[in-house]
Amino acid sequence: MSDPVEHYVAELAAALRGPARAKSRMLDEIRDGLTETIAAHSDHGVPHDHAVARALREFGTVDELVPSCQQELTVAQTRHAAATLVGVVGSLLACGHVAWTVGGWQLPAAAQLLVDIAALAAELSAAALAATGVLTRWVPAPPGLPTLVGWASSTASVAMPCTAIALSTTSPLDTTWPSTGLTAAVAVAAHVVLAASARTCRECARLG
């Protein structure tokens, strides 16, 4: 027979979306809490099977627990996606600035527009980090913030490969190909990282 506690935790895990570490930590805390509650009932002479059933009733059904757990994970995923966006775009801009300065060339207009879009998305995400951090002690985070960060990350992730294409098609490759190639490679890698983070953030926003 399967362990009722593990079945409960597995069912809860299947219903939740969020950062792997935060989700794993949350599930471990719930598992530990159930185990401690079962032990407390058993110490008072309650038969094990009854102690398990009582502990599960006290914790509530999975459906009852999901909303509060998902809300916490959604905030965690929002912060994770926002931090990823700020870090990735910031690194890309820094690498690009060095490459353009060393190469002594101006960023093409099309690529500059895409970089500006990504930078704006990063600024929105930086604000989201502040709104979901210590400020929540006094001001609740806006309810639409996870959706905003998810779409901002998606926009930036699309801008990354488009920037690479713009660079490769409009730059004077005879003199700038090393820096252009490096920047384009970083942009494509940034797209992969941001796209996965954005997708999870949008899923969390839909779930609550």
Least confident segment among 17-31, 52-66, 101-115: 101-115
Least confident segment among 37-41, 136-140, 164-168, 185-189: 136-140
Mean pLDDT of 83-100: 75
Predicted local confidence at residue 6, as pLDDT: 94
SS (H, E, C) the chain: CCCHHHHHHHHHHHHCCCCHHHHHHHHHHHHHHHHHHHHHHHHCCCCHHHHHHHHHHHHCCHHHHHHHHHHHHHHHHHHHHHHHHHHHHHHHHHHHHHHHHHHCCCCCHHHHHHHHHHHHHHHHHHHHHHHCCHHHHCCCCCCCHHHHHHHHHHHHHHHHHHHHHHHHHHCCHHHHHHHHHHHHHHHHHHHHHHHHHHHHHHHHHHHC
pLDDT category, 60, cuts 50, 70, 90? very high
pLDDT category, 187, cuts 50, 70, 90? confident
Predicted local confidence at residue 103, as pLDDT: 58
Predicted local confidence at residue 143, as pLDDT: 73
Mean pLDDT of 97-107: 62
